[in-house]
Structure 1
């Protein structure tokens, strides 16, 4: 180019337009964005070429804008547990059916157990309370302790009133009260003897003294002797004075004196009691005895009966008492013999 000639303007090529950024399509979305190219496809598209300069012009390198970088976005979702398939598998359905069958079988078994237990209890209740398996049989009743004054057949007759009653339903208290009404029975104990028996243990009112009757009982021609137990209850009578019992003579209208005499007789040793022929008293403190060998005993009151009995037994066994007609033990620590 000649010096001094006017400068020719340089042609600057136009910069290519930037590549537009297109958002990636969402899954399942529809519309125009879904039909366009994705981010990667857009980055792979060829960049428009730079036009060639016109003839007679020179080119100067010019920095152009870098193409836009493609970006990928991600949608963040919160995890809410395992996602169940829409269709249950055949294996799971079988398990569910098996569990349902097991639950039904368990319910049936429980109902069967309850019904069976109830029927069993009802059967046992009928067997024990109403069936004749445990019914009372008077022939299997045992009576003990009748002594000398209680009639066993009268006690058996009372038991026979309850024949056929199952033992669990038998009113033992009522039966005992009925047995106590039998003459000569002081106390009684009634116990069941399974499966159908009964045991009756009696405490009889054994006579300890004979008291002359003031008048003959109705239907009896002559007076006799009333047999009294240790409580003063008459347990029988006899026409003659019994050989083994002392005859007691006390005022008829003085029950305290009678009780004092019976208390002394009850506490005597058997050997000494058998040696006494009679006892008399006008008051509680003037009890006297007549021995069968003819010796009179001044007993006094009912106090210290055991000591008085021991002193009297010792004096009777002593040789010094030979020929003695009266022994006074009213003061047992200072006895007197006459």
Structure 2
């Protein structure tokens, strides 16, 4: 092949440029130029493989095409002027072709360089670009993995902490470390607190979480003065029992004895003489059964504690004729047990507005029209 034809080919190939590095290739986004090197005389040229996607006719026409040596050029380089001309004429300013996927770089590079022999500088540039590409891919994988791993790690840590605390609390609650070693009784006045505490001795040594509520109820049912109770635990070792005692409302004479009863008719205390400070209850049956007792008990229960001590007797034959007797001898006609709270307020005002010694009775059966009868 003549030198002149080689020079002409060199001029035609001025538009093609071998990129000095992989980044140069990606930045330009150019297609693979056709590059040939000088072949020593006497060595036949190997047929060049056409690029993928080339039509069959183009492939057949290129089977007989031989590379043309670039005269006056180094085996692996082209003049800088030719490279600048190719860069200016190729129109690589298109923003859509400035970047190419990293997955096609190696294939693109192989098609660009073809059978060209690379210099050491070019090989190092390609190796450096390849390393940077792989480093970038690793960094991206780490970044996305870290982004998803952060919230997931926090959630797992929180769930693990909660489960650990629950396990520790459960083990501690059911262990001998939090067993009952002290019993505290509160709310007692007539009931012996020491006796109640002693009756609950079976709960000592039992873990607080395993205290038998039914057993506690059975022990407290032996005390009739206890109307209700509540049980709670106070870590690490105390069982607290709060009781509400029954409130006595009057005294029932039964077989020559006097029984102190509450509004439910439960006997709180029995004595030979009537207890001072409580009204004497009179009912048709003589006991805590019947409508008369329930009506009288409802009236006495709503009376203020300061006024209840002034009542010496309460009588009711039915639920509609409740009457009271005051300490000064005056009678109180109460009537039905309904509106007892209003009647109690009206009665207190009437007593405060009159001289009790001059009053025979107070009629509050109709609280809106109360009547005072003088002696």
TM-score clears 0.5: yes
Within the candidate set 314, 334, 337, 2:370 is matched to 334
Q: CA deviation at 1:152?
A: 1.7
Change (3 A) 1:274 1:174: same
Number of aligned residue pairs: 230
- Conserved? CA contact 1:128–1:166, under 8 Å: yes
Q: Secondary structure at the match of 1:312?
A: helix
1:135 matched to 2:168? The reply is: no
* Distance change >3 Å, CA 264–CA 124, structure 1 → 2: closer
Where 1:208 maps in the other structure, the secondary structure is strand
Gap runs ≥5 in structure 1 = 1-37, 43-69, 83-117, 216-222
Q: By how many angstroms is 1:165 displaced?
A: 0.2
With structure 1 as the length reference, what TM-score do the two structures score? 0.58
- Which residue, out of 170, 176, 186, partners 2:211? 170
Please show how residues 142-181 of structure 1 align to structure 2 within 5 Å. Answer: 142-148=184-190, 150-172=191-213, 174-176=215-217, 178-181=219-222
TM-score (norm 2): 0.53
**Structure 1 segment 310-325 matched on structure 2, within 5 A:** 310-319=345-354, 321-325=356-360
CA RMSD of aligned residues (A): 3.5
1:180, 1:187 within 8 Å by CA — same for their partners in 2? no
User: Secondary structure in 2 aligned to 1:232?
Assistant: coil
- More divergent stretch after superposition (306-315 vs 196-205): 306-315
Greater fraction of residues in helix: 2
Aligned to 1:73: 47
Which structure's CA Rg is the greater one? 1
How far does residue 119 in structure 1 lie from its aligned partner after superposition?
A: 11
Cα deviation 1:149-181 (Å, max 9, x = unaligned)? x23233213321111001122234653454344
Distance (Å, rounded) in 2 between the aligned partners of 1:334 and 1:121: 65
1:85-96 equivalences under 5 Å are none
Structure 1: 4+ residue segments shifted above 6 A: 76-79, 118-124
Correspondent of 2:274 among 226, 235, 241: 241
Cα drift, residue 210 of structure 1:
0.8
Greater shift, 304-313 or 264-273, is seen at: 304-313
Are the aligned partners of 1:180 and 1:188 in contact in 2 as well (CA < 8 Å)?
no
Equivalent residue for 1:227? 260
Q: 2:292 aligns with which of 240, 245, 257?
A: 257
